[in-house]
Amino acid sequence: MKVTVDQNSGYCFGVEFAIQMAEDEMEQADKLYCLGDIVHNDMEVKRLNAQGLRIIDHEQLRELHDCKVLIRAHGEPPETYSIALKNNIELIDASCPVVLKLQNRVRHAFEKMNKKDGQVVIYGKKGHAEVIGLSGQTGNSAIIVTDESDLDKIDYTRPVSLFSQTTKSTQGFYDIKAKIENRFGDQSQVVAEECFDAHDSICRQVSNREPRMEKFAKEHDVVLFVSGKKSSNGKALYKVCKTHNDRSYFIENSSEVNPGWFLEDDSIGICGATSTPMWLMEDVARCIDETTKKSVENA
């Protein structure tokens, strides 16, 4: 039995940067507040909590004064910065540069759409931290669409500017784009120039992982995909694994490994989401090695 940890898996730049900023700050203080889970992985959140990172929500932020608060990679709406200024809160801004650039693009598109009675549409998960930050650039007037049923929210007699949450599926974005184009109906001849512009704003660090994940899944008999259940990126990448290798299993940590999934000569691949720390995937690998050794000793 051979176990391989995918070295292309693990944190994207934005998450790695945010965690490094948090750890650097906590070296100088016993406690640091973080607005929402710093990463969609409970194991990593617990590890950082032990170092002094305290997770708060937006209501708790309003009650804080004269302290430091970390903004995670997902970014925040303008309102958060206003509250911090009012309450003398020092923000440690770890917003991902890709997300900040997208926020700026959405804000400018909103200003442009306002001049011609248009709409900003965001393909993403409603309630997701990044989507909240993006919608905040439009005064929360953006239309959030997750699947085809949400497309009824759009007024097809008015212009549309479409963006995507950075961690969504590339294929999903282009499917939504095509469906919106089709709904313009008789106006299709002017869609590209006047009625509808679509911006592929998906992070390439994320989208490029899909073909790599497909290749990795095909190279192994069994795939263990390690991710937090809250991670939308994790759900999307696991779907890629499952599509190309039916013996793919979604787990959060080593305690969920089932020895019954493996055969003696299996090649086992361990991979994860952009929010999965490398140490967690390596822990799963160690668990499998230890289980294998015990089986041999008891044989």
Q: Which residues are catalytically annotated?
A: 130
**What is the DSSP secondary-structure string of 198-266?**
E-----HHHHTHHHHHHHHHHH-SEEEEE--TT-HHHHHHHHHHHHH-SSEEEESSGGG--GGG--TT-
Contact between 217 and 223 under an 8 Å Cβ cutoff? The reply is: yes
| Cα–Cα distance measured from residue 31 to residue 65, given in angstroms and rounded to the nearest whole number | 14
For residue 102, give both structure tokens.
């997208």
Closest CA to 167 of 224, 120, 103, 98: 98
For residue 62, give both structure tokens.
């309003």
For residue 119, give both structure tokens.
């709409």
* Alpha helices by DSSP H, 35-96: 42-51, 58-63, 78-86
What's 142's DSSP letter? P
